[in-house]
Amino acid sequence: MSKTLDKFLNDNLQELKEQGLYNEVDPVEGPNGATIQIRGKELINLSSNNYLGLSTNDTLKEVAKKTIDKYGVGAGAVRSINGTLDLHVELEELLAEFKGTEAAISYQSGFNCNMAAISAVMDKNDAILSDQLNHASIIDGCRLSKAKIIAYKHSDMEDLRAKAKEATESGQYNKVMVITDGVFSMDGDIAKLPEIVEIAKEFDLITYVDDAHGSGVTGKGKGTVKHFGLEKEVDMQMGTLSKAVGVVGGYVAGKQNLIDWLRVRSRPFLFSTAVTPGDVAAIKEALRMIMASTELHDKLWENGDYLKKGLKELGFDIGDSETPITPCIIGEEKLTQQFSKRLYEEGVYAKSIVFPTVPKGTGRVRNMPTAAHTKEMLDDALAVYEKVGKELGVIQ
């Protein structure tokens, strides 16, 4: 190895460890469900994005197995050559119905969606108004586009309006986009979409909502845009197929001409092999289940409200979450990691989240109850939280 590279890596790894910013990866031994096994230890799992418990659903597993027998394990090519199977077309038709749009396009991951769609529409002659707490994939997608990135204060509509006015009236940009998460994954709050759409109409902004943590969760499962009844007002709806839907991949939904453009100009669609047939079939089945019944959605919210109430009563700072996402904000990074480690030792897996995922000094343990958790599991988790919280002086 190059001496320069070796020194760079060792110095920086050591610095991260000293600051409590080094992230240990814990391989899960078996399915990622309401409970998981790590290093032979069974734990109540509060760190998964498997909101509806569908990643281990027996019906989805059977559908995937049958599809593999018929189609094989891989799509065989990129979408633009001959990797588009009839399954992909059927999925995209179903996604458009799910999101209430004219059309949709699917990608290999949610991260890929933001790489694909933002840079296909925006370029160096444009500007993007981006919420300060937007997900890393949004930030990277904006950077890839080479557009001017103008951050506005988190969910601050006065700041957004002032910056939209300044950008559009400057005459410097051909197009201006406003982009926001629908649900902010580290705090659980919901974007102020009605106000954002109002400002966008006033200044002719392109509207882009990343609903990775809203699809299947808000709007009775249809997402945050549906929650506010804005399907016809938002230009670009993005979401993942790996969280509430339980499989893998992502999508962008919108008008037909937008989707036609993304098919010929978004690079992950053109240059990355398509999602595997078994996964596509499982996604379709999951979407049908979400569209047919709100049972899992309702159970998720019931469990989320129960855990949130319990943690708040114990005295934890859970921020201003409006969704089942429930942060316990600890603050200092080393204490946050120590807190998470003690939870693990007591049988609860709730991962510490520190800088750069969240700002320095706002370390937290992010809890994600799912539809698959039982009340007994949540009660056990709360008892552990009380014990560890008092032990480390986080609560009285």
318 torsion bin: left (phi>0), alpha (psi -120 to 50), beta (else)? alpha
Q: Which helix (H) or strand (E) holds 37?
A: strand 35-38
315 neighbors 396 (Cβ within 8 angstroms): yes
CA atoms of 138 and 112, how far apart (whole Å): 10
Closest CA to 111 of 132, 138, 149: 138
Structure token pair of residue 270? 């053109």
Task: Record the tokens describing residue 269, joined without a space.
Answer: 């669609």
Active-site amino acid positions: 185, 213, 243
**C-alpha distance from residue 151 to each of 142, 186, 238 (Å):** 11, 18, 20
Q: Which residues pair with 106 in a beta bridge?
A: 251
Strand partners, 374: none
Collapsed DSSP state (helix, strand, coil) of residue 152: strand
C-alpha–C-alpha distance, residues 80 and 290, integer Å: 29
CA distance 395 to 276: 47
* CA distances to 60, 300, 305, 354 from 53, in Å: 11, 9, 17, 26
Q: Which residues on neighbouring strands pair with residue 208, listed in sequence order?
A: 179, 236
Q: In a 3-state reduction of DSSP, which class is residue 238?
A: strand
